[in-house]
A and B are shown apart, each in its own frame.
Chain A
Amino acid sequence: MLQAELERADLLKKVVDAIKDLVQDCNFDCNDSGLALQAMDNSHVALVSMLLQVESFATYRCDRNIALGVNLTSLTKVLRAAQADDRLTLKAEDAPDVLNLLFESSENDRISEYDLKLMDIDQEHLGIPDTEYAATITMPSSEFKRITTDLMAMSESVTIEASKDGVKFSAMGDIGNGSVSLRQHTNVEKEDENVSIQLVEPVSLTFSLKYLVNFCKAAGLSSVVKVCLSNEVPLLVEYNLSGKKGAHSYLRFYLAPKIGDEE
């Protein structure tokens, strides 16, 4: 059986909120190392990969590998009943029909309990190799979100160009064109505001802005986002979910670059 307790329901709420607009149904794979999720959008051009390691949970017990097939819209509805700082416990049998969610309020003695019906989802798992990216950009997640939403007004796609001068996001559309350039920047007082660019070689790739905007819904999960690019491989957008602890939990988005002539 699975019994996993999160200090704050917030974490799961935000994760689900971030991916529910990308993926409809997906399996939460539970094993003794934690709770994992991998899913693609309907067009199979983007991929979400999430891992909540055991360390991210207050208590965690999983005797056997369980796949929890969940409709994310339904899960969102249930999680809406949870306060951000409620203690959340997930429970499931070994061959479950339902996922049991328990919300315990920290302020009063309110306990809400929900059973969510599960479904069988036939999903293929892709093996994602560790990649040495040509450019790795670390920046405030809010900054990345703002850039994508701003450029969304101009065009459907954005070209990300990383060079030793910095990183340039540019969009060309019917009404004109626009771009945002960032340079490496270190803020001593607020580490989260840092912008760092690690460059192996210059790289320039074009991506669908709609997808990037979608990824940025995870901005609330972490103040820092890591954007990794390389030619011929999907863009990686990673949010760290570990918080202050030593865990290595993450939420990663992959997006295939646009190749060929721009429209």
Chain B
Amino acid sequence: MARTRLSSAKGKKGGGTAEKTNTATTTTATKHPLPTESPNPPKVFILPTKATAAARIVTLPNPRYSKPTRYLVCPEAGFFEFTKISAPKTAPRSWLLESASGTVEKPQADEEENPAISSNDGFDVHITKGAELYVASPLDPLFLLLPALAAGAGQESKSTQASKKRLFLFSDDHFDALSRSTNHVSEILTWPDLRLSLELRMAAVCDTVDAGDEQMFRLNESKLLDEILTKARRMAEHAFPKSMEEKFVSKALEAPILGIRSQPTAVPEPDPATAKSREGSSTPVESADSQSTIPSLATSASSLSEASTPATTASSDSAANADSGDVVNAMSAPEEAIKLQRLRVAFNFICSSYIAPSLAELLKSHCVAAKDKVDFGPLDDYLVKLTKMRNDAAAARTSDYSRKRGMDEEEDERAEKRRKKEEEDKVKKANQSRGVKKLAKVNTTGMKKMSDFFKKK
């Protein structure tokens, strides 16, 4: 996940350089190691080497959720976002941190994270509670600017009027829209280089007019779409990381299974009723899966802490079958469809990770409309075919297998009960003397029960 994010933002940063692990300690250690939990435990970061000493960790509004989020900003290297990687709860881990003397950078007095701490003498050995790792990866500042540029875009529906209403504004006005007392936008803007690079990025997606010696900017959605499609294309150029590729590309395009080769007799002879089931026997879960690509992307983006666990767990049986290699799929996706699916996943991923929901909606509808930029036609055709096939398969399955199975289970339960009762009766009978059995046949009409004569104690 981290890698994907990195490559999506890589373009404008001039490619990823070799990044070296660099343990920056933003917190201090107590003089005497105490058994109690440190209120400010050390955190482990992987920071880019090209970030200069002037780089700061600052709080900026998150482009999608607009809540304050930490970013690493360097006047030269640009913006970096943090991805938190932590061990799954089921396998808790810790860091054992130790530094050879002299390798620890002296914390500076104006340290953003801990302005109060300036007098720590050294950092010895620490064990952290959780094994979180924060990886800094380059981020296109364009995304950070988008909320300001697109202010009010989504509210007035998808109509193009929204963009018409939007006014040309100076970059300062756009920056002001982002700046809050709770974030550090105004502070980083005092760095001259950074401001220039931000304006450059802004120009990439905006219509501009010159007003005297200054430029004015207005968001152009078409340009923005181009920009994002470029990023998505770059991301989709190669196959995704394996887990992502499997979940979002191969599984989404996977045709229902026709049959399993080792059991050819399982495939029924073609007659009108079974012809449909011949087309495949995938699970109904599958079709839901392909449609949920976008929401699941959103969740995977928002829960990056789970990045260390495999993104997918092959849950449906068809996936398990696919691994065995014995299965015969009804059809295989054409190369073009696979590429387009990748592009779509990449586009959706960027939209759901870095762009506010309202704007993302707008972009998606633009993307569908703009056939000249990207045509998902072949993919859609394939998907329509696939959905039909899956529905047929699901219908075939529910009609002859699952219902029967459901009844079987119920029947099994009943049979189980009956068997148990019979067994109990058998034991009882075995321990019943012949006399008792004979006595049960005696006609007792007209005889009152003993309890009618004798009262209970």
Contact = CB atoms under 8 A, between A and B. Distances in A.
Interface in B11-60: none
Nearest to B432: A24
A246 B452 CA distance: 34
B442 A210 contact: yes
Interface in A71-112: 71-74, 76
B447 A208 contact: yes
Nearest to A131: B453
Interface stretch (A43-51, A162-170, A185-193, A195-203): A43-51
B457 A21 contact: no
Contact of B442 (A43, A124, A126): A43
Contact of A45 (B432, B438, B450, B457): B450
A50 B303 CA distance: 77
B443 interface: yes
B439 A41 contact: yes
Which residue, of B428, B433, B445, B457, has the highest number of chain A Cβ atoms within 10 A? B433
Contact of A128 (B432, B442, B454): B454
Contact of A21 (B434, B450, B456): B434
Interface of A: 20-25, 40-47, 71-74, 76, 124-129, 156, 208, 210-211, 214, 233-234, 254-261, 263
16 contacts: A20-B435, A24-B428, A24-B433, A45-B448, A47-B450, A73-B431, A76-B433, A126-B456, A127-B454, A127-B455, A208-B447, A210-B438, A233-B453, A256-B452, A258-B445, A260-B446
Interface string B266-308: 0000000000000000000000000000000000000000000
Contacts of B449: 44-45, 256
Contact of A44 (B431, B440, B446, B451): B451
B100 interface: no
Contact of A22 (B428, B436, B451, B452): B436
A208 B444 contact: yes
A257 B447 contact: yes
A203 B443 CA distance: 23
Contacts of A124: 451, 456-457
Given A73-B432, A128-B454, 18 more contacts: A20-B433, A21-B434, A21-B438, A22-B439, A42-B436, A44-B449, A45-B447, A45-B448, A71-B431, A124-B451, A126-B450, A126-B451, A127-B454, A156-B442, A208-B442, A234-B450, A260-B445, A261-B446
Contact of B450 (A74, A254, A258): A254
A156 B445 CA distance: 12
A23 B436 contact: yes
B454 A73 contact: no
A45 B450 CA distance: 5
B450 to A, nearest CB: 5
Interface in B381-435: 428, 431-435
A128 B451 CA distance: 10
B395 to A, nearest CB: 54
A151 to B, nearest CB: 15
A23 B431 CA distance: 11
Contacts of A127: 454-457
B456 A125 contact: yes
Contacts, number: 103
Nearest to A255: B447
Interface of B: 428, 431-436, 438-440, 442-457
Contacts of A74: 431
A105 B354 CA distance: 96
A261 B445 CA distance: 10
B217 to A, nearest CB: 87
Contacts of B436: 20-24, 41-42
A43 B457 CA distance: 20
A3 to B, nearest CB: 27
A156 B435 contact: no
Contacts of A46: 450
Given A45-B450, A73-B433, A259-B446, A126 B439 contact: no
A258 B433 CA distance: 25
B425 to A, nearest CB: 13
Contacts of A25: 431
B447 A259 contact: yes
Which residue, of A23, A45, A74, has the highest number of chain B Cβ atoms within 10 A? A45
A205 B434 CA distance: 28
Given A20-B435, A24-B436, A73-B431, A125 B447 contact: no
Nearest to B428: A24
A72 B433 contact: yes
Given A42-B439, A126-B456, A156-B443, A24 B450 contact: no
Contacts of B440: 42-43
A260 B432 CA distance: 31
B456 A24 contact: no
B447 to A, nearest CB: 4
A99 to B, nearest CB: 15
B438 to A, nearest CB: 7
A125 B450 contact: no
Contacts of A72: 433
Contacts of A126: 450-451, 454-457
B442 A211 contact: yes
B452 to A, nearest CB: 8
A43 B431 CA distance: 18
Contacts of A22: 435-436, 439
A214 B436 CA distance: 10
Given A156-B443, A211-B439, A234-B453, A256 B448 contact: yes
Contact of A256 (B428, B434, B450): B450
Contacts of A210: 438-439, 442
Contacts of B457: 124-127
A36 to B, nearest CB: 12
Contacts of B446: 258-261
A229 to B, nearest CB: 13
Contacts of B438: 21, 210
A233 B455 CA distance: 13
A261 B452 CA distance: 20
Nearest to B440: A42
